[in-house]
């Protein structure tokens, strides 16, 4: 359910409800939105909205028109992205090299950090049913020192 929910709901929820952008289109596990901002402005917005102190970034472009996002781990989708910038988690070293060589800026927002809104998003739909649900959020296994 979790992976299917990412594809059908969570990507859209993070773009619209958390980051505050309008969705341009969706394609399987990738959602696109227009940023029309400097990379610096996008990074500042992400850090604020996702409550992050640091981002891992591979810079290919410093002005970003269109962005793509895949919550969770989207590194294997790099070759399919048709945007200036791709946001996801768990990018590997060689994926970052590939992206930079192909003019795609990457912003690693973290796997946990991109999916921590799963319960919040799911709750909107569960409230439509006469169910009693107890939901607990996962905890990030990583510590940042």
pLDDT at 145: 79
For the cut 70, the answer to whether the pLDDT of residue 85 exceeds it is yes
What CATH number labels 2-126?
3.40.1390.30
Give me the pLDDT at residue 1, please. Answer: 67
Q: Measure the CA–CA gap between 125 and 121, rounded to whole angstroms.
A: 8
Q: What is the mean pLDDT of the chain?
A: 91
* String of DSSP letters for 47-103: HHHHT-S--EEE-S-SEEEEEEEEEEE-GGGGGG--SSEEEEE---HHHHHHHHHTT
CA of residue 104 relative to chain centroid, distance: 15
Hey, where are the domains in the chain? 2-126
Residue 144 has pLDDT above 80, yes or no: no
Angle at 99 between CA 97 and CA 100, to 5 degrees: 65
What is the pLDDT confidence band of residue 13, given thresholds at 50, 70 and 90?
Answer: very high
Residue 98 has pLDDT above 80, yes or no: yes
pLDDT at 122 over 90: no
DSSP 91-116: --HHHHHHHHHTT-EEEE--HHHHHT
Work out the pLDDT band at 118, boundaries 50, 70, 90: confident
The owner of tokens 């946990």 is 112
Q: Percentages helix, strand, coil for the chain, rounded to the nearest 5?
A: 40, 25, 35
pLDDT category at 19 given cuts 50, 70, 90 is very high
pLDDT at 136 over 90: no
């Amino acid at each position: 359910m979790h992976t299917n929910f990412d594809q059908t709901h969570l990507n859209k929820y993070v773009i619209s409800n958390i980051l505050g952008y309008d969705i341009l289109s969706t394609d399987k596990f990738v959602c696109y939105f227009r940023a029309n901002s400097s990379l610096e402005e996008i990074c500042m917005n992400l850090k604020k909205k996702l409550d992050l102190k640091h981002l891992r970034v591979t810079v290919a472009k410093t002005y970003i028109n269109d962005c793509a996002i895949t919550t969770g781990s989207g590194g294997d989708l790099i070759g399919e992205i048709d945007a200036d910038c791709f946001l996801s988690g768990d990018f590997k070293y060689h994926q970052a090299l590939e992206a930079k060589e192909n003019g795609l800026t990457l912003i690693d927002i973290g796997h946990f950090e991109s999916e921590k809104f799963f319960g919040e998003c799911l709750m909107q739909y569960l409230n439509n049913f006469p169910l009693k649900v107890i939901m607990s959020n996962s905890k990030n296994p990583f510590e940042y020192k």
